[in-house]
Amino acid sequence: MKYVTAVGDQTYVIEINREGEITVDGVTRRADLRSIDGLGTYSLLIDDESHEALVETRGGEIGVLLRGRFYLIRVQDERERRLAESTRGLVAPAGEISIKSPMPGLIVAVRVEPGQGVKKGETLVILESMKMENELKAPRDGKVGVVRVQPRQAVEQGQTLVTLE
Amino acid sequence: MFKKVLVANRGEIAVRILRACRELGILTVAAYSEVDRSALHVRYADEAYCIGPAPSRDSYLRIDKILEVAHRSEADAIHPGYGFLAERSDFAEACERAGIVFIGPKPSAIAAMGDKAVARATVQKAGVPVVPGTEGEGGLSDEEIIAVAPHIGFPLLIKATAGGGGKGMRVVDHPEGLPGALASARREAEAAFGDGSVYLEKLVAGARHIEIQLLADTHGNVIDLNERECSLQRRHQKIIEEAPSMHVDADLRARMGEVAVKAAQAVQYVNAGTIEFLVDKDNNFYFLEMNTRLQVEHPVTEMVTGVDIVKEQIRIARGRPLRYMQDDIKINGWAIECRITAEDPFDNFMPSTGRITRLAISTGPGVRVDTGVYEGSEITPYYDPLIAKLICWGETRGEAILRMRRALEEFRIIGIKTSIPFHQAMMDSHRFMAGSFDTRFVEERFSLEEETHADPMRVAAIIGTLVAHGEGQKATQVVRAGERDTSNWKWLARWERLQR
Shortest Cα distance, chain B CAs vs residue A143, angstroms: 22
| Per-residue confidence (pLDDT) for residue B236, from 0 to 100 | 84
- Separation CA A51–CA B457 (nearest Å): 12
Compute the average pLDDT of residues B260-264: 96
pLDDT of residue B281: 85
Q: What is the pLDDT of residues B305-345, one digit of tens each?
A: 999 999 999 999 999 999 999 999 999 999 999 999 999 99
Minimal Cα–Cα distance from B380 to chain A, Å? 8
Alpha carbon distance B311, B317 (integer Å): 10
Pairwise CA distance, residues B469 & A76, whole Å:
10
Q: What is the pLDDT of residue B61?
A: 96
B90-104 CB burial, b ≥16 within 10 A, e <16? ebbbbbeeeebbbbb
Q: Which of A4, A70, A106 to mutate to test the interface with B (most CBs of B within 10 A)?
A: A70
What are the CA-CA distances from residue B15 to residues B27, B86, B134, B372, B374 (Å)?
Answer: 13, 16, 39, 6, 12
Q: Which residue has the higher pLDDT, B490 or A53?
A: A53
| Beta carbons within 10 angstroms of residue B181's beta carbon | 18
List pLDDT tens digits, range B3-51.
999 999 999 999 999 999 999 999 999 999 999 999 999 999 999 999 9
Asked whether the beta carbons of B53 and B34 are under 8 A apart, the reply is yes
Do the Cβ atoms of B458 and A24 come within 8 Å? yes
Q: What is the pLDDT of residues B145-169, one digit of tens each?
A: 898 899 888 989 998 887 766 788 8
Q: Which residues of B are catalytic?
A: 293
> What is the structure's pLDDT at B403?
98
- Which residues lie below 8 Å from residue A109, measured CB to CB, with a gap of 6+? A125, A126, A151, B184
Q: Quick one: pLDDT band at residue B138, thresholds 50, 70, 90?
A: low
- Asked if residue A8 has pLDDT above 90, the reply is no
Q: Is the predicted pLDDT of residue B498 greater than 60, yes or no?
A: no
User: Edge-to-edge, what's the strand order for the sheet holding B208-216?
Assistant: B285-291, B271-279, B208-216, B222-234, B237-243, B334-341, B386-394, B367-371
Predicted pLDDT of residue A135: 84
> How do residues B119-137 score in pLDDT, each as one tens digit?
988 999 999 999 888 855 5
What's B198's DSSP letter?
E
| Contact: B167, A105; criterion CB under 8 Å | no
DSSP A24: E
Q: Please write the tens of the pLDDT for every residue from A95-136.
A: 678 888 877 888 989 999 999 999 888 889 998 887 778 888
Give the SS3 label for residue B140: coil
Residue in A31, A77, A126 nearest the CB of B466: A31
Interface test with A, best of B463, B476, B496 (most A CBs within 10 A): B463
Query: In which region does residue B216 sit, left (phi positive, over 0), alpha (psi from -120 to 50) or beta (all else)?
Result: beta
What's the mean per-residue pLDDT of chain B?
A: 91
Q: Which residue has the higher pLDDT, B192 or B302?
A: B302
Measure A8 CA to nearest chain B CA, in Å.
Answer: 9
- Identify the residue among B234, B427, B466, B471 best suited for mutation to test binding to A, counting A beta carbons within 10 A and taking the highest: B466
* Alpha-carbon span B446 to A35, nearest angstrom: 38
Helix (H, G, I), strand (E, B) or coil at B299: helix
What average pLDDT does this structure show over A17-28?
91
pLDDT at residue A26 tops 80? yes
Q: Which helix (H) or strand (E) holds B292?
A: none
For B415-445, the DSSP string reads SS--SHHHHHHHHH-HHHHHT---TTHHHHH
Under an 8 A CB cutoff, do B468 and A126 touch?
A: no
Cβ of B413 within 8 Å of Cβ of A133? The answer is no
Q: Which residues have C-beta within 8 Å of that of residue B67, sequence separation ≥ 6?
A: B94, B95, B98, B100
Binned at pLDDT 50, 70 and 90, residue B452 comes out as: low
By CA distance, what is A3's nearest residue in B? B465
Count CB atoms within 10 A of the CB of residue B419: 25
